[in-house]
Copies of this chain bind each other. A is one copy, B any other.
Amino acid sequence: MRPVESSPAIQTLLDELERLPGIGPKSAQRIAYWMLNTDRDTVVRLSEAIVRVKDTVHFCSQCYNYAQDDLCEICSSVRRDNTIICVVSEPRDIAAIERTGAYSGVYHVLGGALSPMDGVGVEDLRVAELMARLASEDIGEVVIATNPNVEGETTAAYLARLIKPLGLKVTRLASGLPVGGDLEYADEVTLGRAIESRRVL
């Protein structure tokens, strides 16, 4: 069911918009018509922001977060605690943790998680780079914040085995019930984990 568009330029725009994650034919059409109705300056600003992000953003040379300079804003900040490294799979996980305001250390982006099914091995992740940082920097704790799924847990277990012999404290984000969630709607695995990890009040 393709929309019948009265202009090839609109059809091309719809095709390109539908490649975006979470954008189906209806959203693409809504956005395309919004663009047709909006002043040219706003639309050009978006178009330029898209290309600029591709041309100016690269990986931080220290933690592999996205950065515009050699170091990202977190690695180059004097207000961060450089003795704690939080290990994440992707740069977007850094944004999620930063939003909490609960962490003031630095990060290391692996660029994925171990997944034999998808052929992702240790050599595909930035594990050697992490070990080099642990050897040369003055680190006291490594927080492993890979996702709480099979690949993330496998990666966390592998890293813990690798890092513990260095005499560093290795921690993992807590699993449990989401705050504000309902016991009734929690899946068994999450609820089971919440019971195992129960706290003394």
What's the Cα separation between A15 and B45 when bound, in Å? 10
The reply to whether B49 and A12 contact each other, CB–CB distance below 8 Å, is yes
Set of chain B residues within 8 Å of A1, measured between Cβ atoms: 99
Does A32 interact with chain B (Cβ within 8 Å)? yes
Does A199 interact with chain B (Cβ within 8 Å)? no
Report copies per complex.
2
Interface of A is mostly: helix
Enumerate A41-90 residues with CB–CB distance to B below 8 Å. 42-54, 56-57, 60, 65-68, 72-74, 90
Residue of A5, A30, A94 contacting most chain B CB atoms (<10 Å)? A5
Contact flag A95-B29 (CB < 8 Å), given A21-B34, A34-B21, A73-B7: yes
Question: On chain A, which size bracket covers the interface?
Answer: 35 or more
The reply to whether B95 and A4 contact each other, CB–CB distance below 8 Å, is yes
Report A131 CB to chain B, min CB distance, Å. Answer: 23
The reply to whether B35 and A50 contact each other, CB–CB distance below 8 Å, is yes
The reply to whether A95 and B3 contact each other, CB–CB distance below 8 Å, is yes
Set of chain B residues within 8 Å of A46, measured between Cβ atoms: 16-17, 19-20, 50
What's the Cα separation between A92 and B10 when bound, in Å? 11
Report A105 CB to chain B, min CB distance, Å. Answer: 14
Residue among B7, B20, B29, B91 making CB contact with A72, cutoff 8 Å: B7
The reply to whether B31 and A21 contact each other, CB–CB distance below 8 Å, is yes
Set of chain B residues within 8 Å of A44, measured between Cβ atoms: 51, 54
Report A180 CB to chain B, min CB distance, Å. Answer: 15
Report A40 CB to chain B, min CB distance, Å. Answer: 5
Q: A residues within 8 Å of B by Cβ?
A: 1, 3-10, 12-13, 15-17, 19-23, 27, 29-36, 40, 42-54, 56-57, 60, 65-68, 72-74, 90-92, 94-95, 98-99
Contacts A10-B57, A15-B49, A43-B50 given; 5 further ones with Cβ under 8 A?
A7-B53, A7-B67, A12-B53, A19-B46, A21-B34
